[in-house]
Amino acid sequence: MMSFEITTELLETVTSYIEASNDTALVEYFENMHHADIAEILDELSFEEAIYIIKLLDSEKTSEVLMDVDDDVRERILKNLTAKEIAEEVEELDSDDAADILGELSEERQEAVMSQIEDEEHVKEIEELLTYDEDTAGSLMAKELVKVNENWTVLKCVREMRAQAEEVTRVHSIYVIDDEEKLKGRLSLKDLLIASTKTAISEVYIPNVDYVFDHDDLDEVSFKMRKYDLEAIPVVDDNHVLLGRITIDDMVDVIKEEAEKDYQLAAGIVEDVEADDNILELTKARLPWLILGLFGGLGCVLIMDGFDESIQAIENIETLFFFTPLIAAMAGNVGVQSSAIIVQGLANDNVKGSLWNRLLKEVGLSLVNGIVLGVILIAVAPFMGLEVFYSITVAVSMLCVIIVASLVGTFVPIVLDKRGIDPAIATGPFITTSNDIFGIFLFFLIAKSMLL
């Protein structure tokens, strides 16, 4: 299958059909198109054109489209649909997606929409999912799954599976429960196919099954699914009663959102924003770290001012000032490198063992890197007209700055993580600013000690 690509011709075709109110042509045009591709088209159209298409196409198709369009576009579309129209979309969705849609509405609108849904069981499932806190397994799970009782025979199991599968979009696993709905294990299709029709499920099911609790954090869910390479994982309550399942496609969306959040934090953006957001929202997201950077820069000025009298006594002091940006840049770069590696390790649960051992390892790595860079600097210095003793001073300063910067970059994310704060916040301006201050201070302190 060829990859989908939005072209000017494609958009012109769609808009021409809309302008001509050629509904038949529009329906035919989108008939065999994937819902994700339709969503991509809607993101490129005007809001009025997007609404036109949503109201024209069948809910079976547009319900999936709504889940894929940009969040802002979906919010505006929902505001312009009646409670009955939203209910028609929700009825076509699995419980987890339906809860996501309704979760974006006010409580009043939620009640109005759910009153229009004919399937009472679907309403109960949605209401249950809406009670869970965001970022918990319960908030992400879908109620639709295939489950069989351990006391059934294989023949009855197959009949029941057929009936249940009609309500499940994709069957990843078959879960085995007891009479109290408690999760007992999982069922292999291979074992089911080769077993006698009179065999009890209790004799063929696999008792070892990975699961998560409904109150577990999504990081725990992500970790288990990645570690054990799972396409789906069951969700249970504290009594091990089977509640639902989380599938890999939902987990990928969560991982993507978390990665985007961490990337923005690392860049010094404190709120979730997009390029199309207004100036006020973008300013609110960027300004706090810029203010921190401003005060960090003022801190560097105060440090330099504090060394003013001592530094003025050094012969050819102006030569050293030319290396101030170099020291600051090396401090920031090394700190960001160290913190980025630690943050990645914390995300993958690979940061284990003693903190002191890790800090000692960073010192060793910094010594190697600092010595190599220092040798290069001393070798290049004569071509820049810098005296040997001055180049050695800069090289020693750079070595010390690299060591301190790597320790800060390692220590801070680990401490933040242990205190329940997202360590990604340490990889951007926070580390850069703090290491700039440390770097400038060490540079002038060492210069004063060696050259006076």
Give tens-digit pLDDT for 399-421: 998 998 888 888 888 888 887 77
Tell me the pLDDT band of 263, cut-offs 50, 70 and 90. Answer: low
- 122-145 mean pLDDT: 93
**What is the set of domains in the chain, with CATH numbers?**
8-135 (1.25.60.10), 146-256 (3.10.580.10), 279-451 (1.10.357.20)
**Is 214 within 8 Å of 141 (Cβ atoms)?**
yes
Per-residue pLDDT of 318-331, as tens digits, reads 667 778 888 888 88
Backbone angles phi, psi at 241, to 5 degrees: -75, 130
pTM: 0.68
Q: What single DSSP character describes residue 70?
A: -
CA proximity to 319, closest of 159, 447, 176: 447
Beta bridge partners of 198: none
Tell me the pLDDT band of 51, cut-offs 50, 70 and 90. Answer: very high
Cβ atoms within 10 Å, residue 334: 29
**b/e string for 32-70 if b means 16 or more Cβ within 10 A?**
eeebebbbbbbeebeeebbbbbbeebebebbbbbbbbbe
Q: What's the confidence (pLDDT) of residue 233?
A: 95
Q: What's the confidence (pLDDT) of residue 215?
A: 95
- 152-176 mean pLDDT: 85
Q: What's the confidence (pLDDT) of residue 141?
A: 95
| DSSP SS3 for 42 | helix
Q: What single DSSP character describes residue 174?
A: E
% of the chain at pLDDT higher than 90:
40
Q: How far is Cα of residue 106 from the mean position of the Cα atoms in its chain?
A: 26
Mean pLDDT of the chain: 85
Per-residue pLDDT of 330-359, as tens digits, reads 888 888 888 878 877 776 667 776 777 878
Helix/strand/coil percent split, the chain, to 5: 65, 10, 25
